[in-house]
Structure 1
Amino acid sequence: MKTSAVLLTLNRIWQGFVRFLVNTSELRVWQVSDGHGHTYWRAYDPVSGRSSYLGSEAEVRSWIEQRYYR
């Protein structure tokens, strides 16, 4: 296994552990880069269980507004 793959796996495990400890209902948004260098946004609403992959900050804002103004 390559070093980058090991680090990615360890990072995912760590994030899962932190989420378990925090157990919050706050909306989570973070930026992700894929293996091809494309950058996008990931959003997750733990209250509804909904998540989305979004291409821009404007799309993230729209997704958040839909959460609060349904």
Structure 2
Amino acid sequence: MKAPIRLHHPGVLNQRIGQVNPTLNRSRKPTSIAAFLKKLWRGLLAMLIVNNDLKVWHERDRRGNLRWHAFDPLTKTSVSLDSEDDMRAWIEQHYYTGITGDRC
């Protein structure tokens, strides 16, 4: 006959784990005010500094196929294409020729 399973309160379990591994007994230090202010400042700077450059990247899908993506923050236009050549053609047509605005 199997012994019954005993459920423990998470604090009891952590205490037992801490007895085996004393490094787990250390409590996490709360984030310091300086770290919080630094994170807040970086967030504010990111909102204030607007980057209007065309963003282009590629990624692979589940099957391993390469897919190219672009996003134009000025016009809020995005495109996904199957090849680098198609992406280059799209950039030439829509980005450099001024169809989406005066960029040059």
TM-score range relative to shorter protein = 0.5 to 0.7
Letter in 2 for 1:68: Y
Q: How do residues 6-25 of structure 1 correspond to structure 2 at under 5 angstroms?
A: 21=46, 23-25=50-52
Q: How do residues 39-58 of structure 1 correspond to structure 2 at under 5 angstroms?
A: 39-58=66-85
2:90 matched to which residue of 1? 63
TM-score by length of 2: 0.44
Give me the whole-angstrom Cα distance separating, in 1, the residues matched to 2:91 and 2:76: 14
Give me the whole-angstrom Cα distance separating, in 1, the residues matched to 2:62 and 2:85: 23
Q: 1:35 aligned to 2:35?
A: no
TM-score by length of 1: 0.62
Structure whose alpha-carbon radius of gyration is higher: 2
Give me the whole-angstrom Cα distance separating, in 1, the residues matched to 2:79 and 2:63: 19
Q: Which 5+ residue runs of structure 1 have no aligned equivalent?
A: 1-19
Q: Which has the higher strand share?
A: 1
Letter in 1 for 2:72: D
Q: Which 5+ residue runs of structure 2 have no aligned equivalent?
A: 1-44, 100-104
Where do 4+ consecutive residues of structure 1 move more than 6 Å?
none
1:13 matched to which residue of 2? none
- The one-character-per-residue Cα deviations of 1:13-57 (angstroms, maximum 9, x if unpaired) are xxxxxxx92531000000111122111101111111111111111
